[in-house]
Structure formats: C-alpha cells, structure tokens
Amino acid sequence: MTISRQDAAALDRSDPLAGFRDRFVLPDGVVYLDGNSLGALPRNVTGHLEKVIGQQWGTDLIGSWNIHDWIDLPGRLGDRIGRLIGAPAGSVTVADSTSINLFKALAAALSLRPDRRVILTEAANFPNDLYIAAGVAGLMDKEVRRARKHELAAALDDEVAVLCLTEVDFRTGERLDMGLLNERAHAVGAVVVWDLSHSTGAVPLDMTGSGADFAVGCGYKFLNGGPGAPAFVYVAPQHQMGLHQPLTGWLGHAAPFEFAPDYRPAPGVTAMRVGTPPILSMAALDAALDVFADADIAAMKAKADQLFELFTGELEGVDGLSLASPRDPARRGSQASFRHPEAYAVMRALIGRGIVGDFREPDILRFGLTPLYTRFVDVWEAARGLREVVEQGLWMGAADGHRAKVV
Ligand SMILES: *Cc1c(COP(=O)(O)O)cnc(C)c1O
C-alpha cells in the first residue's frame, strides 16, 4: 500500500517518540538508514566528553580512577545495558570489542562442558563469529559444526558443548527464537552463547526469562556509542562462580593492585574484564545510554515495525526488488533488507542522493530502522528514492568499479 507524503508527515505528528530526534546530531539533506551499522551521534555525547577530558583527565588526572570512579565504569555501563537486555544487576560488564568478548564467552562456555567437542553455530552467522569460533575451537581442540537456521534444533545432540548464535541476522534482520533455542540446547546439555549486536537497543530482550547462558553485543550500532565503542558481555548468574576465561588480565583479577604473582578471578562477571578500560570511549557510550533511560524499547520496536510497513508498502511491486526480511514483526529486528541483482550499484546511487543504507554481499540492500531518530517522512523519501533508482535504472554507472575498503 502506498501513502502520500502528507500522510507520512501526519504519522510523524502523532508519533510519541518524535521528540527523541532532537537529541541526535543529524546532517541536513541526509536520510540516515544505517544506524544499525553506526548509530548516529547523540547530542549530549560531545559535552560529556568535554567534561571527562577537561575536568577529569585534564584536572584530576590519575586521581580520577577513584574520584570519578573510572575503575568501576565498565560495571556501571554493564548494568545500564543489563536493563535493556533483561539481565540482573552485576551480570553484564562492558569491555573490549564484541569479537574479543565472543572469544572469551565461547571459551568460558566450552570449559563448562569439558567432555564435549562441538560448537554448533549457524551457517549464515555473521562470518566474524564463525572466524572467532574457529579460532577458539583450534586452541581448545574442539570442532565447529554449522547448520541452517531451521536445522539448528535437529542438529543439537549430546556432542554439542556450545550453541553459538546471533539473535538478529545481519543480512536479513531475521530473528531467532531465543527462548526456544535455549530450551532445546539445555535439553541436550549444551550451553548457549548469543551475539546480540543487532538486537540490543532495538528489540525487547530477556536474558533471565529466556534462560540465556552467555551473551555479547555491540556498543556502536543501535546503542549509538560511537565508532568502535566498547562492547558488552553477559554471564548468567549460575555460571559466574568459577568462571574460567582464558584472557586472564589484571582487571579481571580479584585484587589487581595486590600485584600477586598468580591470577585469581574477580567474583562475578568482572572476571570477563582483561585490561585497562578505554575511559573516553566508555564515557561516550555512557552519555549515549542516557537516551535509552527515557525510551521504552517495546515502543521503539512498535515504531520500527510501522516504519517497516510504510517502507515495504511503498516498495511493493517494484521490479527487481525482493524483500529479504521476514514480514512477521515478531521474527524481525529493526531493519528492512531487499535483494537486487545490482545491489551494490543501487546502494551507491542511493547514497549519491543522500539516502544512506548499506550493501551486504552478495545482493543485499540493507536499511536500519532506528526509531529514535528516523521519521516516517524519511522512510517515505527513502522508498521513493529507491523506487526511482531501480525503476529508472539510475544505478547504471553508479558503481565505478572501485569499491571502497568499507562498504
Ligand atoms: C557488528 C557485529 C559485531 C562487531 O564485532 P566487533 O568486534 O565490534 O568488530 C560482532 N558480531 C555481530 C553479529 C555484529 O553484527
């Protein structure tokens, strides 16, 4: 179904989340539908960083570790993220990158099932996660098995030590049933590690209720923590005692400043920390999370679903475009993906017109629907632009043969 631009503007006027857009810095003349890859800059981040740099680093210098409690910032941020993913206080810490947290979480999970050899994952998982799983498996003499999404439950047997999955598919936005897969995995005695990179800050999550064992996720996508923002890791309370992860650095030690010759893990999720936290990056993430303190994730997902309906409705019947995302909102994160045989050129042409999404191999046009700063008129404009580019062949010549390092 298609609607007029005035109708889209009316949806914005009655949108309860409309006020959040002002809390972000967004360039004029750009429709930004890539917040699932790099979240936009929350307005309060710059001022907060100036304060942390000027007053804390610049004035209080090393005393800031205590005066401003820099040392416990990873745990405070972990608790803030914990509230977004349905995890109890003290079960999440911010640390390192998603990749490194996945490495640690997989190793810790494997060590809970020492007599089993298999990490089961999904064939279309984010390739980075397949690489990390292979790396961990190589070091620990384990093996990685891959199954398709619908074959996962059947592939679970008593050889599987760890099931490693990404909740929202980076290409299509398809969402797995976390509670069901946890239940199936536990029924065969396996432990589950979830990657929530495309879920956190986008969809309601419940680590406790769904029975997840470990989870990791990204700070710079829907959480808007800035490029390369620190990531997070969740460890379920029942796995925190005797947690064993191989990157045994001093800030995961029970008493770093005793400088004891032998490692003794800190209690709880703190044992997932490794080295000195990047305070400036964490400060940016801290300020970015302020926005979520005032936003309801269920309302955000509801708006993302309305944006999806508008966007896909406007694009129905466009020759050459096929929807790659599930139509059922319960099975989808906050994105809309389409396939097109010339997807790369189509995206270059769109970006040239100020409509920013991204391309994913082999033929995916990906659009993040970030409800805090995306208006209905933005999505309407993007759909019109995409329709014109595809129907009028404006993509021809848009890919000049030279691909940037980052697509
Ligand atoms: C974005 C993303 C990551 C990012 O990992 P980095 O260590 O930050 O590079 C990891 N996993 C998934 C599923 C992602 O989408």
Q: Confidence band (pLDDT; 50, 70, 90) for 250?
A: very high
Could you confirm whether 366 is annotated as catalytic?
Answer: yes
- Give 109-146 pLDDT, tens digit per residue: 999 999 999 999 999 999 999 999 999 999 999 999 99
Could you confirm whether 344 is annotated as catalytic?
Answer: no
Give the pLDDT score at 151: 96
Cα gap 223→205, rounded to integer Å: 14
Average pLDDT over residues 226-255: 97
Nearest CA to ligand 1 atom 11: 197
**Alpha carbon of 196 to ligand 1 centroid (Å):** 9
Give the pLDDT score at 407: 87
Q: What angle do CA 373, 5, 327 make, to 5 degrees?
A: 65
Average pLDDT over residues 277-305: 97
Could you confirm whether 195 is annotated as catalytic?
Answer: yes
Pick the catalytic residue: 20, 24, 103, 126?
Answer: 126
- Give 91-110 pLDDT, tens digit per residue: 999 999 999 999 999 999 99
Cα gap 3→380, rounded to integer Å: 9
Helix (H, G, I), strand (E, B) or coil at 237: helix
Give the pLDDT score at 400: 76
Give the pLDDT score at 1: 78
**Alpha carbon of 99 to ligand 1 centroid (Å):** 6
- Give 335-385 pLDDT, tens digit per residue: 999 999 999 999 999 999 999 999 999 999 999 999 999 999 999 999 999
Average pLDDT, the chain: 97
**Alpha carbon of 333 to ligand 1 centroid (Å):** 16
Cα gap 336→407, rounded to integer Å: 17
Burial (CB count within 10 angstroms: exposed 0-12, middle 13-18, buried 19+), residue 319:
exposed
- Give 162-205 pLDDT, tens digit per residue: 999 999 999 999 999 999 999 999 999 999 999 999 999 999 99
Cα gap 226→219, rounded to integer Å: 7
Average pLDDT over residues 23-44: 98
Give the pLDDT score at 329: 98
Cα gap 340→186, rounded to integer Å: 39
* pLDDT value at 401 more than 80: no
* pLDDT value at 326 more than 90: yes
**Residue predicted with more confidence, 34 or 294:** 34
Cα gap 323→327, rounded to integer Å: 9
Whether ligand 1 lies within 6 angstroms of the CB of 128 is answered as yes
Q: Confidence band (pLDDT; 50, 70, 90) for 402?
A: confident
- Give 59-85 pLDDT, tens digit per residue: 999 999 999 999 999 999 999 999 999
Helix (H, G, I), strand (E, B) or coil at 25: strand
Cα gap 87→236, rounded to integer Å: 8
Average pLDDT over residues 222-239: 98
* pLDDT value at 404 more than 90: no
Report strand pairing: 31-32 vs 355-356. parallel
